[in-house]
């Protein structure tokens, strides 16, 4: 039983982290959510980062959320 309890706790924590990331992105970056990867990569060039990553069924600029947050923080 301890292994099953550990697995359940791990799964719950991972689910909460993913939900929190998605909620953050939805609440703070609606203007940087794109329908296509190409559009997100074009925005990444403006932010001086590279790549794009999927956030649900949309795309965001930069290679990951951490890179995006850093790029946006330097834009202000």
Task: Print burial letters for 36-74: b (CB count within 10 Å at least 16), e (below 16).
Answer: ebebbbebbeebebeebbebeebbbbbeebebbeebbee
pLDDT tens track, the chain, 76 positions: 577 777 667 766 656 566 555 555 555 556 899 999 999 999 999 999 999 999 999 999 999 999 999 999 987 6
Q: What does the pLDDT read at residue 75?
A: 78
Q: What is the number of H-type helices and E-type strands within the chain?
A: 3, 2
Q: What does the pLDDT read at residue 47?
A: 96
User: Taking the model in full, what pTM does it have?
Assistant: 0.61
């Amino acid at each position: 039983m301890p292994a099953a309890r550990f697995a359940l706790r791990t799964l719950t924590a991972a689910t909460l982290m993913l939900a929190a990331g998605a909620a953050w992105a939805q609440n703070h970056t609606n203007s940087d959510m794109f329908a296509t990867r190409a559009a997100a990569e074009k925005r990444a060039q403006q932010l001086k980062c590279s790549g794009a990553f999927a956030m649900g069924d949309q795309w965001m600029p930069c290679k990951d959320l951490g890179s995006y947050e850093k790029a946006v923080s330097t834009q202000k």
